[in-house]
């Protein structure tokens, strides 16, 4: 969810433009530039609204070579079959999804990761993004990803010694990876906010902007793995920081952490599973990556499972 800012995005139509119809109007998206245009004056009839979520994230694997204590990803071994993913992407693309985000675990450890990105970019109209800790983005992998990925999200919680204590990896090593990444594709920084990382947030934002990041995504820590999530006092300080921020990067915040934040969401009517869904590494479709339960995607496809997930939600609230 984007935080309110004075920044604007210029839009120009091109062959990569995708049109999505929904309750807020006609949404045009150019995946090459990341530009969005919403024509809210024209609301199509409900029968024409896109059947699939606007954005879908897919955990390709639960495997990760880091062990961050606040990570939500399951620690059980699981990995999705390549052909299943391709089938789901084709269905989502045909039914109005505009972007897919590959995650994990660590998606760069998926055995056919570069091939998957290339296939998705070349054979669908989906914008391809992925979230990574960044340490496997060497020259060889970046060369394979060039032209096949539209945005990358790099997880960076704290800077310097804070980062190294929490992530167990060299911060200088990450800095070098970012320098190579910025030559290939636009990227943003994902920043988990808790009492350990809040003290670094000014320095982290300055570092991210200097490194070439176009977005700083705030992820207030969620309650997982017997951790209580972000403390109320820390959340209040984060809100104050957002309100006083004057840097040049676009700020965004996770929907689960957006309470009290000065957010701006043009898709006011497109909420819940119309906006977003998550597919985990076992093939369950869920409301979010934090959800404990979901619906298995079987041979009937993603939309059938999505419908069952919607019905299950309505019968349990």
Q: Where are the domains of the chain?
A: 17-316
CB-CB neighbours of 10 under 10 Å: 7
Token pair belonging to 51: 């059947």
Can you give the pLDDT at residue 261? Answer: 72
Can you give the pLDDT at residue 2? Answer: 59
> Do residues 80 and 88 lie in contact, with contact meaning Cβ atoms separated by under 8 Å?
no
**pLDDT confidence band for 16 (50 / 70 / 90):** confident
Express each pLDDT in 155-179 by its tens digit: 999 999 999 999 999 999 999 999 9
Token pair belonging to 123: 């054979």
Please tell me the distance from the alpha carbon of residue 9 to that of residue 232, in angstroms, as a whole number.
34
* Backbone torsion region of residue 254, taken as left when φ is above 0, otherwise alpha when ψ lies between -120 and 50, otherwise beta: beta
Can you give the pLDDT at residue 3? Answer: 53
17-316 folds as: TIM Barrel (3.20.20)
Q: Are strands 35-39 and 25-30 parallel, antiparallel or unpaired?
A: antiparallel
Q: Are strands 55-59 and 35-39 parallel, antiparallel or unpaired?
A: unpaired
Express each pLDDT in 42-61 by its tens digit: 999 999 999 999 999 999 99
Residue 134 has pLDDT above 70, yes or no: yes
């Amino acid at each position: 969810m984007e935080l309110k800012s004075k920044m604007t995005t210029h839009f120009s139509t091109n062959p990569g433009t995708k049109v999505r119809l929904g309750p807020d109007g006609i949404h045009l998206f150019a995946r090459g530039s990341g530009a969005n245009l919403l024509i809210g004056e024209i609301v199509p009839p409900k029968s024409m609204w896109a059947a699939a979520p606007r954005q879908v994230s897919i955990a390709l694997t639960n495997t990760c070579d880091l062990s961050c204590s606040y990570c939500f990803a399951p620690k059980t071994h699981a990995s999705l079959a390549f052909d299943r993913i391709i089938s789901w992407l084709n269905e989502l693309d045909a039914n109005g999804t505009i972007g897919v985000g590959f995650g994990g675990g660590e998606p760069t450890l998926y055995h056919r990761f570069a091939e998957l990105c290339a296939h998705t970019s070349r054979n669908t109209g989906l914008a391809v993004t992925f979230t990574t800790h960044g340490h496997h983005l060497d020259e060889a992998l970046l060369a394979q990803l060039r032209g096949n990925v539209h945005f990358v999200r790099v997880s960076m919680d704290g800077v310097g010694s804070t980062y190294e204590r929490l992530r167990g990896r060299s911060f200088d090593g990450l800095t070098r990876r970012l320098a190579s990444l910025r030559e290939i594709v636009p990227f943003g920084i994902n920043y988990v906010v808790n009492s350990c990382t809040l003290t670094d947030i000014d320095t982290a934002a300055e570092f991210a902007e200097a490194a070439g990041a176009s977005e700083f995504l705030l992820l207030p820590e969620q309650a997982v793995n017997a951790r209580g999530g972000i403390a109320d006092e820390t959340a209040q300080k984060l809100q104050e920081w957002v309100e006083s921020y004057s840097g040049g990067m676009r700020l965004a915040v996770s929907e689960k952490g957006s309470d009290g934040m000065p957010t701006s969401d043009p898709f006011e009517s497109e909420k819940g599973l119309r906006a977003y869904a998550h597919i985990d590494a076992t093939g369950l479709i869920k409301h979010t990556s934090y959800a404990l339960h979901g619906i298995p995607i079987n041979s009937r496809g993603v939309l059938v499972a999505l419908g069952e997930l919607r019905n299950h939600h309505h019968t349990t609230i």
